[in-house]
Amino acid sequence: MKEFRQIKQSTFWLQILTGVAMAIVVGVTPSAIVSPLTSFLAKGNAFWNGIYMATSMCQYAVPIAAGVLAAGEFKFTMVERASVGLAAFISSGAAVYKNGQWVLVGMGDLINVILITGLSIFAIFMVREHVGSFALIVDSILCGSVVGAIGTWTYTYVHMLSTWIGSIINSFTALQPLVMSILLGLVFALLICTPISAIAIAYTIGLSGLAGGTPSLGITACFMFVAIATYKLNGVGLSIAMFFGSVKMMMTNFVKHPRMLVPIAFVGAVGGLTNSLFFKFTAIPQFAGFGQPASPIQVYSTLQGSVAMKLLLLALAYYVLPLIYGLITFYLFKKYLPVLLTKTIGKSIYQNKCI
């Protein structure tokens, strides 16, 4: 416990968030980028079907990776990291027991993963001075059986948060279309910055039609703005990663500096507004929580007109306009509200330290 007492409580949770954020990015990136491209090729082709299946499976490993990477932030041994990974997966709800067998259902509830990962790390700190060479036995049982069991109990209650948020978002669909689109764009731009799964919420409440197509533009607006804001400080590679869905990598920054979410909420609302006024894209629940590059592929199948016209509309909605109002928003906030983008000493708060 001596080591644990030397760690500040805020630092403890930020280190866990750093590990979880990186796990989300690593696990979701293949599914977000490769799956939409290979889904069509997979039909009737064994090779591409294998690529598609392997890519889709990546997201199911997120809870395990989250536990392992978070434990790595505390310089844990391999046994300790693997043990934390066990507890994280068991508590995630990613696997459910149905009809006598375990079935994978998704990433699970990442908020519960964060809480149980923290509990697992604390438990290991408590016993590591006393177990010695029995660490392999004690750590795996302590985390896998004991803490994991606690996680299955807390999952029910923690998951209520996602259900509650989903019910609020679902109430937006009863509003006037313009107001609905602004609110959906804003909320989903914010959700993508949190451990809460925007995809899971959109699917759970069954967002479809205009309400299904709008969130993707709010999310894409968030991607573009963060890519612009991180460009100079983090380099081209990380900026591109942000635009292609790695915004959760910045989760630690959002927790430390929640004011960063103000311009993100603004561009998200603008993204939703553009869909209501100009594009009127629709989507099914399975794609409602995605931004680009996944959403344009699904939206393409719903559009009417020539191939050139469809591609032009998608380019404007998901690339050109987000770039324009992302740049304008960044310039306006930097000029008139710099406190939302920088620390008091003038250093950008968009510096990423996950990699």
Kindly report which listed range (47-51, 122-126, 261-265) carries the lowest average pLDDT score.
47-51
Beta-bridge mates of residue 342 = 348
Average pLDDT of the residues in 180-206: 88
Residues 85, 64 contacting (CB under 8 angstroms) = yes
Residues 254, 260 contacting (CB under 8 angstroms) = yes
Residues 258, 222 share a domain:
yes
- Considering the domain boundaries, does residue 348 fall inside one? no
For the segment 117-164, what is each residue's pLDDT rounded down to a tens digit? 999 999 999 998 888 889 889 999 999 999 999 999 999 998 888 888
* pLDDT attached to residue 1: 66
Residues 247, 208 share a domain:
yes
Q: Distance between CA 265 and CA 100 in Å, rounded?
A: 44
* pLDDT attached to residue 346: 64
Provide the domain count of the chain.
Answer: 2
Residues 151, 40 share a domain:
yes
Burial class (CB in 10 A: 0-12, 13-18, 19+), 103: exposed
Q: Look at residue 41 and tell me whether its pLDDT is greater than 90.
A: no
For the segment 84-96, what is each residue's pLDDT rounded down to a tens digit? 999 999 999 888 8
Residues 101, 46 share a domain:
yes
- Considering the domain boundaries, does residue 55 fall inside one? yes
For the segment 270-289, what is each residue's pLDDT rounded down to a tens digit? 999 999 999 999 987 777 88
Residues 262, 181 share a domain:
yes
Most confident of 52-66, 239-253, 320-334: 320-334
- Considering the domain boundaries, does residue 352 fall inside one? no
- Considering the domain boundaries, does residue 237 fall inside one? yes
Kindly report which listed range (74-83, 109-118, 155-164) carries the lowest average pLDDT score.
155-164
Residues 267, 136 share a domain:
no
- Considering the domain boundaries, does residue 168 fall inside one? no
Residues 104, 230 share a domain:
no
- Considering the domain boundaries, does residue 112 fall inside one? yes
User: What range defines the domain where residue 84 resides?
Assistant: 2-160
- Considering the domain boundaries, does residue 72 fall inside one? yes
Residues 105, 20 share a domain:
yes
Residues 140, 48 share a domain:
yes
Q: Distance between CA 201 and CA 265 in Å, rounded?
A: 18
**What is this structure's pTM?**
0.84
Domain finish residue from 132, 160, 188? 160
Residues 184, 141 share a domain:
no
Q: Distance between CA 258 and CA 248 in Å, rounded?
A: 14
Q: Which of 71, 148, 80 is CA-nearest to residue 112?
A: 148
